[in-house]
Structure 1
């Protein structure tokens, strides 16, 4: 959403005119800040350039002789490092990443997707909240995604993931605007893993955007896994509130469970997330107090505080 695009802003301290030595000190401090800004900006630019170079080398394998389109190959993505301590579990560190590579040699109809998690609809929750049902499900996945055009509602994937399995997936997604403020986002997918066999998912999200750019979301998702004959469900309420041009607050209530083989609630999760990028539009900081109730822990409340740093790279970031 446009309301969540956080712009760059910095502040500088004032200097006392009565201190003879302060102007030199202030100038040195300002130079140090500028050096630091140049260093971190240079690092992000080098990361983007190296990922683009890798994308070009990969795309060159698909290029026809005399076709230089692979030189325009681009990569974009994000890297997130977080510490999510909670009562009864203080050492929960997590590294998350997602890379998308455009392949112009294949007429930009095929993307290479590399991610730590195959479930993009649940990537913002804390790790402890994803574990109960998705244990042994999330894994590094690499896949080729094919679409007939950039705005195609249908996509197909072939890759590896979920504990090293080979899979094929077909996914359809679309949005149905109800009025100027209310919309329905929906998707359905079916997939086949060489060990887990057939599976399917369906999801629907109702979203309301207020005149003040506040966003209300009600997310629903249902899963079927053939290997264990499991029927799973997830419901989530979210409220996104822009605070300034550089910060936003996200309130979340999340529940997850299964219908078969046992009809039971697995977890409840509530959190408040503060997200900001005070210095750069590609560098985000998050702090998220939360409370988690798990069936595996007899639904005793577990209090925690997640802290993350997230970096985006790629052209246009």
Structure 2
């Protein structure tokens, strides 16, 4: 249902209140309280099919956001332009003993201008921490510890500055209603070192109260190379123990259109029924590049895994992904 909502334009409608002014003035200048959906951007007749597809998706997301934001438009105010972004990723991740591993992700974000750019609508089948960010030199390598599930949420930003963000989010994830508060604080010194602390508290109606903490240290070796180390831990009333993940990452900007990330990760559980357990080790090298169009990115990621369920047997694999970005506003 969500994909149809995103990819299909809503019905374009216009509700104008009659005024006592003359029809000539109405034809020359529309009334200020006229709530109209703007038409999509025109496309050229000889436009390449890839650009036509990009415009179609971008316009569809934008028109849906404009239609929704129009409900919150106060009478007498002009319609402002919302900011919309959509990210769609398709991937095939074959590995030893499992050649049918496919990965599809999408994320739609809408910023509503009539809430002073403090309110975002987010639709996703993945947590925003798992998505690769742009530009490439700041590619995010973190993976969330929670199970993948579709979520739809309204996010409100209480405070935003260069080194601090305080936000809250309410929505539905995996069929369960949740509420979350997250605080992101970064400390920087010597222009090369930075440390981030990101605590969050959340509550699910079915699973109860929970909390998560992310600690991250970044060392900027030079303009194109960064070393990153992070640690995350999560606990909730649903689990008897704590879920944790360690990671070390070497990020390198190759040129303006490509970058690579070498990763070493370990994840597991502690203080649970089995005590301290390591679920999996992982070593990977991800090569990401931009090709064909400015909005299309490709990834090639060979990796080695040592999962507990396979008695830590070496499991080689490779991930092949294509990702498209669609934005307007």
2:124 matches 1:111: no
Which 4+ runs in 1 deviate beyond 6 A? none
1:110-129 to 2 correspondence within 5 Å? 110-118=119-127, 120-123=128-131
2:63 matches 1:53: yes
RCO comparison, higher one (Cα < 8 Å, 6+)? 1
Change (3 A) 1:123 1:72: closer
Deviation at 1:123, TM superposition (A): 4.2
Work out which of the residue numbers 222, 235, 241 in structure 2 matches 1:230: 241
Counterpart of 1:24 in structure 2 is none
Deviation at 1:186, TM superposition (A): 1.7
- Superimposed CA distance per residue, residues 209-260 of structure 1 (whole angstroms, 9 cap, x where no aligned partner): 1224201100110111112232111111110112222211110111101112
Change (3 A) 1:228 1:52: same
SS at match of 1:48: helix
1:1-317 to 2 correspondence within 5 Å? 38-69=48-79, 71-118=80-127, 120-123=128-131, 134=146, 137-151=147-161, 153-161=165-173, 163-261=174-272, 262-315=275-328
SS at match of 2:191: coil
**1:291·1:303 contact (CA, 8 Å) conserved in 2?**
yes
SS at match of 1:45: helix
Change (3 A) 1:218 1:59: same
Unaligned runs of 5+ in 2: 1-44, 133-141
SS at match of 1:270: strand
Counterpart of 1:32 in structure 2 is none
Change (3 A) 1:212 1:107: closer
Cα distance between partner residues in 1 of 2:222 and 2:310: 42
Counterpart of 1:19 in structure 2 is none
**2:168·2:182 contact (CA, 8 Å) conserved in 1?**
yes
**1:191·1:198 contact (CA, 8 Å) conserved in 2?**
yes
Structure holding more helix per residue = 1
**1:287·1:308 contact (CA, 8 Å) conserved in 2?**
yes
Measured on the aligned residues, the alpha-carbon RMSD in Å equals 2.1
- Superimposed CA distance per residue, residues 161-219 of structure 1 (whole angstroms, 9 cap, x where no aligned partner): 0x210000000002100221111122110000001100000111111112242011001
Cα distance between partner residues in 2 of 1:210 and 1:250: 14
**TM-score when normalising by structure 2:** 0.78
Change (3 A) 1:123 1:301: farther
Aligned length: 272
**2:158·2:168 contact (CA, 8 Å) conserved in 1?**
no
- Superimposed CA distance per residue, residues 64-120 of structure 1 (whole angstroms, 9 cap, x where no aligned partner): 233333x512210311100001011111111111111011122221100111113x3
Cα distance between partner residues in 2 of 1:36 and 1:251: 42
Counterpart of 1:25 in structure 2 is none
